[in-house]
Amino acid sequence: MEAFAQSIEGGIVYTWVTSIFWLWPLMETLHFIGLSLLLGGLIIIDTRMAGFFRGLNITATHKLLPWVFVGFGINLTTGVLFFFGDPMRYAVNWGFRVKMVLVVIAGLNALWFWLRLNKPMHSWEPHGDTPREAKLVAWISLVTWTGVLLFGRLIPYVGTG
């Protein structure tokens, strides 16, 4: 990871990110907006899928997924730019590393949902309880994305050498 980070320093993206005074604060703002879209949508989707708020139609909550994807796209873009803008800081930071592991787990969990639950979900009782597998996927999502939020917030304060 450190060798990769060293190869980035001084590159075109690194120079662009570090040479524009207002770019980093703008990226921080966009990252926060992306996180709000991502987590805001997932909290509604996952808590319903976990069996709460049965007054909400289970399939209707999934209409928030486009906003979740927009939020993820914003965070992926700004996150990559953060890494390219200060690669050595992130490469050695254990908060960043844990965050990335949690993002991978969350992604695998989303794949699990897509492959195993997305189609059957449309036949579930709209306001009924959800199957155990759906609850497990929902709780894994809630825990991993909460961890991503917490470890992301810790990055400036831990493991930077």
In a domain? residue 25: yes
Q: What pLDDT, on the 0 to 100 scale, is given for residue 160?
A: 64
Domain count, the chain: 1
Residue 90 amino acid letter: Y
- pLDDT by 10s per residue, the chain, length 161: 677 777 777 778 877 888 888 999 999 999 999 999 999 999 999 999 999 999 999 999 999 999 999 999 999 999 999 999 888 888 889 999 999 999 999 999 999 999 999 999 999 999 999 999 999 999 999 999 999 999 999 998 987 65
In a domain? residue 101: yes
Residue 144: which domain range? 2-154
Q: What pLDDT, on the 0 to 100 scale, is given for residue 63?
A: 94
Q: What pLDDT, on the 0 to 100 scale, is given for residue 91?
A: 87
In a domain? residue 161: no
Question: Where do we find the tokens 């009782």?
Answer: 125
In a domain? residue 77: yes
In a domain? residue 159: no
Report how far residue 25's alpha carbon sits from residue 105's, in angstroms, rounded to the nearest whole number. 28
The structure tokens listed for 134 are 């759906």
Q: Which secondary-structure segment (H or E) carries 106? A: helix 94-112
In a domain? residue 119: yes
In a domain? residue 160: no
The number of angstroms, rounded, from the C-alpha of 118 to the middle of its chain's C-alpha atoms is: 19
In a domain? residue 106: yes
Q: What pLDDT, on the 0 to 100 scale, is given for residue 17?
A: 82
Tell the burial category of 13 from Cβ atoms under 10 Å away from its Cβ (0-12, 13-18, 19+): middle
Report how far residue 150's alpha carbon sits from residue 133's, in angstroms, rounded to the nearest whole number. 26
